[in-house]
Amino acid sequence: MTAKRVNSLAELGGLRKALEAEQRARAEAERLAREEAARRDAAAREFERAVGAVTPLQRPPTAEHPRPPSDPQPRQREADERAALAQTLSDDFDPASLLESDADLGWHRQTLGPEVVRKLRGGHWVIQAELDLHGARTDEARELLGDFLRQSLRSGLRCVRVVHGKGLGSKDRQPVLKGKVKRWLVQRDEVIAFCQARAPDGGAGALIVLLRATR
C-alpha cells in the first residue's frame, strides 16, 4: 500500500508540473500576442499621425466636348482657286508670248528645249490620267481643266491626256474647245509642254500634257 501511494503521489506531482508548464506556455503565448497587437496598434496610430486622415479621392466629373465643326478653309480655298482660274484663264490669250511652236502640233515653254515635245509625242512619259471634255460648255470645261491639273500635280503625276474632241458633233463640225484648251494650258503654271496626241491616243481630238515635277 505504501509503495503504491508513493507512486501515485509521484505521478500526481509530475502531472501537476506538466499542467503548470502548459499554463505558463499558454500565458506566455497570450502575452506575446497582446504585445504584438499593441505594437500594431501603436504603428497604425503613428502612421495616422504622419499622414493625417485619409479621404478617398472622388472621380472628377467628365465633360463631353462637342466635336468642332469641320474646317471650312480647304473648301473655301478651292472655291477661291476656281474663281481665280475663271478670271485669269483668258480665251483670247496668245500662247506665242510664252511658248515655242512646233508647227501646230506641240508647244513647250521657252526655258525648255524642243526635244521635250519630241519625247512627249514619242511616248517617253506614260499617260497617267485623262480628262474628257466632250459635251462640256466653255465655262464648265475651263473649271474642269483647272481642277484636273491641280489634282494631278498634287498627286505627283507628270503626264496626262486632255480630250477636247474633234468637233464632229458641233454645228459647223469644228473643234470648239481645241483652241481654248491650248490657250488655257499655257496659262497654267503646272504645264510645261503639250502636244497633239498620237492616233492611238486620240489624234487631233486630244492633247498630251506634261506637268512640272513636284519632287
Q: Encode 17-29 in three state secondary structure.
A: HHHHHHHHHHHHH
Please tell me the predicted confidence (pLDDT) of residue 176: 81
Who wins on pLDDT, 71 or 196?
196
What's the grid cell of residue 148? 484636273
The pLDDT score that the predictor gives to residue 82 is: 57
According to the model, what pLDDT value does residue 43 have? 72
Q: Rounded to whole angstroms, how far apart are CA atoms 70 and 130?
A: 31
Lowest mean pLDDT among 97-111, 137-151, 200-214: 97-111
Confidence (pLDDT) at 36: 87
Give me the pLDDT at residue 173, please: 54
**How far apart are the C-alpha atoms of 130 and 159, rounded to whole Å?**
9
Please report, for residues 23, 25, 27, 38, 41, the alpha-carbon distance to residue 30 in angstroms, rounded to integers and kept in the order given. 10, 9, 5, 12, 16
pTM for the full model? 0.55
pLDDT category at 157 given cuts 50, 70, 90 is: very high
Does the pLDDT at position 212 exceed 70?
yes
Portion of the chain with pLDDT greater than 70, in percent: 63
Angstrom distance (rounded) from CA 39 to CA 50: 16
* Highest mean pLDDT (candidates 25-29, 109-113, 143-147): 143-147
pLDDT tens digit string along 44-63? Answer: 676 666 555 545 555 555 55
Please tell me the number of Cα atoms within 13 Å of 206 on its side-chain side. Answer: 19
The CATH classification number of 93-211 equals: 3.30.1370.110
Share the mean pLDDT of the chain. Answer: 78
Ranges 158-162, 163-167, 193-197: which has the least confidence: 163-167
Given a contact cutoff of 8 angstroms between Cβ atoms, the answer to whether 177 and 144 are in contact is: no
Residue range 83-109, pLDDT digits in tens: 555 445 555 545 554 444 444 579 999
Distance in angstroms (rounded) separating the CA atoms of residues 29 and 23: 10
More confident residue, 107 or 43: 107
Cross-strand bridge partners of residue 102: 106
CA angle 167, 173, 175 (to 5 degrees): 30
Predicted confidence band at 38 (pLDDT cuts at 50, 70, 90)?
confident
Question: Distances from the Cα of 144 to the Cαs of 54, 134, 147, 180, 195, in angstroms?
Answer: 71, 11, 5, 13, 19
Residue spans of alpha helices (H) in the chain = 2-51, 73-88, 115-121, 138-154, 178-186
Closest CA to 181 of 103, 121, 81, 107: 107
Mean pLDDT lowest for which of 21-25, 64-68, 87-91, 97-101?
A: 97-101
